[in-house]
Structure 1
Amino acid sequence: MLDILVMLAIWWAPVLVIIGVLALLGKIEVSAPWLVASIAFYAIYVAAVFSRFHIPGFEAAFGETQYNWSGKLLAIATSAVMIIVTVRSSEKLTFADAGLTFRQREGSVGPALIAIALMIAFIIGLQMLANDGATLDTETLLYQATIPGIDEELMFRGLLLLGLSMAVTGRTWNLWGAPVGWAAILVTIIFALGHSIIVSDGQIQTIWIAMIYTAILGWALMWIRLRTGSILLPIIAHNATNFVGQFF
């Protein structure tokens, strides 16, 4: 539990500093209740992922499982419940505000598919440079093709983006058709830090290469989310990138 609290503090500290500086400079307005809610969303999500929860008999199907299926499925369910409660408790919010819509913004699918192709090409290039061989066991392929995209897009480009968009309001930029605000930048920072800074038994480990490539891929996923207005293609892009990367 202490390790998780330390990780949360490390992941959020730079984000809170950036928010504080921008607020002092008058670049943004901050809603304290929504900021606290956003931190709580992520803390609950992380607690679910790292819980000792196990679906009876589920992971036994793979023998000695390599992945945290139960924790991730619990996190998916937890994120879904938090989105429902958040949207239902506000007259102004809709599920589309969290990206939960099949509708894609007009003219967005083509550019999004190009972005997905570039993401896949990027991960293939990284894997070929790493030259660490393919990972083609059934569990790995099944997991990478399904869980990461649903789990992480629902939280990062779904609920957390919604929460921070309400917490931090300010200038929005049009980036190749995608409306990018400060919340999108902050979520991408959290996404990169969460994939690269690990605390275990009080020891802090920073994987710099992971921070760089998850920041790049996280930003690509964020652009697709904002360009299309939905987490549907980000889910597909995320899982496709993870899945294809196992073959190189």
Structure 2
Amino acid sequence: MKKTILWSTVPLAIAMFSYFDTSKAFDFETLVFQVTMPGIDEELMFRAILLGLLLKSFKDKFTIFKINLGNPSVLFVALLFGLVHGIHVSNNLKVGFEFVSFSGSFTFGYIWGWVTLMSRSILQAVVSHNLTNFIMSLLRMVN
């Protein structure tokens, strides 16, 4: 339990770098949204439903060159989570890809997937996800 709580705080620590990102105007509605919804709906979709289904489909251990990478379903769900956040479609239907958004979301998704798997609950991932989004938004607003 201590290990999963510790890993749940890693995205929060990384979120502190949002202070150096482009600033945005203060918006209380955005902060309320970020502290409630994304963690709930995304964690339910990616970690509860998708991860739960894939855990039953894949083997428990995945090894490459004698290195145990754990369950591949966590990696697969993190990849999908990163792609959902990295691929953007503009108003004129032009598709774009932002590597920074993808890599950050992939990393956070992998951590939250691992935390969900080890704790057997999405509660820590939901709280960590919501707080991470809230801190990232707030730091951009006070910048």
**TM tier, smaller:** 0.7 to 0.9
Tell me, yes or no, if structure 1 residue 196 matches structure 2 residue 86.
yes
Amino acid corresponding to residue 222 of structure 1 in structure 2: G
- 135 and 234 in structure 1: CA distance in 2 versus 1, 3 angstrom threshold: farther
Residue equivalent to 2:59: 170
% identical equivalent positions: 29
Give the 3-state SS of the residue equivalent to 1:133 in structure 2.
coil
Distance 1:134-1:117 versus aligned 2 partners, 3 A rule: farther
With a CA cutoff of 8 Å and minimum separation of 6, indicate the structure with the bigger relative contact order.
2
Which residue in the other structure is 1:34 paired with? Answer: none
Q: Kindly state the Cα deviation for residue 218 of structure 1 after the two structures are TM-superposed.
A: 0.9
Post-superposition Cα deviations, 1:152-199, rounded to whole Å, max 9, x if no partner, equal 0000001011222233x22426xxxxx931111111110000111123
Scaled by the length of structure 1, the TM-score of the pair is 0.50
Runs of 4 or more above 4 Å deviation: none
Letter of the structure 2 residue corresponding to residue 155 of structure 1? M
Note if contact 1:134-1:247 (Cα within 8 Å) is conserved in structure 2: no
Counterpart CA distance in 2 for 1:213 and 1:229 is 24
Structure 1: gaps of 5 or more residues: 1-107, 174-178
What residue is the counterpart of 2:126 in the other structure?
235
The answer (yes or no) to whether the contact 2:19–2:136 under 8 Å persists in 1 is no
1:221 to 108, 112, 119: 112
Q: Larger C-alpha radius of gyration, 1 or 2? A: 1
Question: What are structure 2's unaligned runs of at least 5 residues?
Answer: 63-68
Aligned length: 132
Question: For the residues of structure 2 that align with 1:203 and 1:149, how far apart are their CA atoms?
Answer: 28
Q: Match of 1:136, SS?
A: coil
> Any idea what the Cα deviations from partners look like across 1:89-132, whole Å, max 9, x if unmatched?
xxxxxxxxxxxxxxxxxxx1x2222223221110112x1332x2
Q: CA deviation at 1:134?
A: 5.5
Q: 1:185 & 1:229 partners in 2: Cα distance?
A: 17
Residue 12 of structure 2, aligned match among 117, 120, 127:
120
**Counterpart of 2:29?**
139
Preserved contact between residue 51 and residue 113 of structure 2 (Cα < 8 Å): no
Counterpart CA distance in 2 for 1:214 and 1:199 is 17
SS of 2:23's partner is: coil
Partner amino acid, structure 2, of 1:172: K
